[in-house]
Amino acid sequence: MSRQAPMHRTRIKICGITNAADAAMAVCAGADALGFVLAPSSREVTLEEAEKALVAVPPMVARVGVFVDADRGFVSEAVSRLGLSAVQFHGDETPEDCAAAPVPAIKALKVGTNFASGMVEPFRGAAAAILLDTYSSQSSGGTGKAFDWHTHVAALPGWASLIVAGGLTPVNVADAVRLFRPFAVDVSSGVEERPGHKDRTRIDAFVAAVRAADEEDQDV
């Protein structure tokens, strides 16, 4: 009897967590990772606020701190105080900054008309994963809008664990999973009631859409 190949399981990160209730909601829905924005944003939290939000988060759920050109000392303090599993760099951080991080680094790259897959290569061996988000000249953080998945992104090198972000919602995330077959998807505004406050129905629908797309891949 032939053995069935294991199903690809897309990891789900719920970002922009600001309070313990939303953290518990995301964990209960099946999130693999929670993101805490420690940089200027409508979803920014202090270390103290993040500590309170994390109080009931189980140890097997990844904790990710999101930074924008932060001082290395602050990054290290956040990793220590919050028990971060990874750091996510959304600014102009260099490969050297990624390599110097005390935990694995996720480097966000902005996808716009000038994006080329070769931009990933300098981070080989320095970043543990590459996150693709939508370019904006107005913001270093997420835009809440999807980039053109078909036009601007060529095949990425196999060494890069890919995380797709930017305007994902319960409606379009399955398409993103089918197209990219990413390691993970990252959502914030797409599962919110309002900035900084998550919506359980939208989170549940988002998780269900990702899992359904994973199962489709298994059936092919």
Catalytic residues: 15, 133
Provide the pLDDT for residue 156: 76
Q: Is the pLDDT of residue 1 over 70?
A: no
Q: Which CATH architecture has domain 11-219?
A: Alpha-Beta Barrel (3.20)
Model confidence pLDDT, tens digit, residues 109-152: 988 878 887 889 999 999 999 999 986 645 555 556 777 777 65
User: Residue 92 — very low, low, confident or very high, per pLDDT cuts 50/70/90?
Assistant: very high
* Listed residue (92, 94, 53, 100) closest to 73, CA to CA: 100
Tens-place pLDDT, residues 176-209: 999 899 999 999 999 999 999 999 999 999 999 9
Average pLDDT, integer, range 14-37: 98
Q: What is the pLDDT of residue 160?
A: 81
Instruction: Supply the pTM of this predicted model.
Output: 0.91
CA dihedral 13, 93, 101, 196 (to 10 degrees): -30
Looking at residue 143, its pLDDT comes to 56
pLDDT-above-90 percentage for the chain: 75
C-alpha dihedral sign at 78, 67, 10, 19: positive
Burial code (b: 16+ CB inside 10 Å, e: under 16) for 94-103 equals ebebbeebeb
pLDDT score of 84: 98
Helix (H, G, I), strand (E, B), or coil: what is residue 205?
Answer: helix
Do residues 144 and 188 make contact, with C-beta atoms less than 8 angstroms apart?
yes
Position 137 scores a pLDDT of 46
How large is the angle between the packed helices 200-219 and 173-180, nearest 10 degrees? 30
pLDDT of residue 24: 97
**CA distance to 35, 50, 75, 117, 171, per residue, from 45 (Å):** 11, 6, 14, 32, 28
Give the DSSP H/E element, type plus range, for residue 33.
strand 33-37
Question: Where are the chain's structural domains?
Answer: 11-219
**How far is the C-alpha of 217 from the C-alpha of 21, rounded, in Å?**
33
